Copies of this chain bind each other. A is one copy, B any other.
Amino acid sequence: MTDTDNDGVGRGSTEALTDDPRPDGLRSVPSLVLVNTGNGKGKSSSAFGVMLRALAVDWQVAVCQFIKSSDWQVGEEKIGRQLGVDWHAFGDGFTWDSNDLEADIAHARTGWDQAKQIIAAGDHQLVILDELTYLCTWGWLDESEVVATVTARPEHVNVVITGRDAPESFVEIADTVTDMTEVKHAYQQGIRAKRGIDY
């Protein structure tokens, strides 16, 4: 299996896509760390595609959204909750008021502390840390804390981290890192985000 998105395909290589793709020399691991970064579309949506696969094998899934608020009623949250995902919209309490930066930082830290507990508790086989990178980019959270938490996780807990500008230390601890590179974007052509597709 040359591509875990199930598309490392070619004539004669389809055995790789069967239920138990175990070419010689490959080993199983108890869990994986995925990082979806880059400036293009697909970082969060890919995480939610992975969420579906986890749900299909009856895993417990937790989603921690660090920026989005449940007020935005994103589609993935609605369906995720329907499917039993333990959903946390830590963006809920942000003031986004530049006079209240300290309050926002404190709020983000509280969200991160909860996420840390969720990972350490080991009750979920998949924990998605959606848009976590921004907290590091803005200096609200030290990347070393994230690295320490993810590397010390219970061995059955898979983690997906999304967001632009993932620090190099995230790349180092990840098994798979994709840079969603923008080739073209509807926004550049003056098209606004579309409900049902973009959120």
Contact = CB atoms under 8 A, between A and B. Distances in A.
Contacts of A181: 38, 178-181
A68 B17 contact: yes
A163 B8 CA distance: 9
A126 B94 CA distance: 33
A198 interface: yes
Interface stretch (A110-118, A144-152, A185-193): A185-193
Residue of A22, A44, A78, A179 contacting most chain B CB atoms (<10 Å): A179
A53 B125 contact: no
Contacts of A71: 18
Contacts of A44: 5-7, 49
A25 B192 CA distance: 9
Nearest to A166: B183
Contacts of A73: 19
Nearest to A73: B19
A129 B4 CA distance: 18
A197 B6 contact: no
Contacts of A196: 53-54, 56-57, 59, 125-126, 158
Contacts of A164: 7
Contacts of A122: none
Nearest to A14: B96
B11 A197 contact: no
11 contacts: A9-B134, A14-B94, A26-B192, A34-B41, A45-B47, A48-B52, A53-B76, A54-B196, A177-B184, A178-B182, A181-B181
Report, nearest first, the 9 A-B pairs whose CB atoms are least far apart. Answer: A45-B49, A56-B75, A53-B75, A48-B49, A4-B198, A26-B192, A42-B46, A177-B183, A175-B186
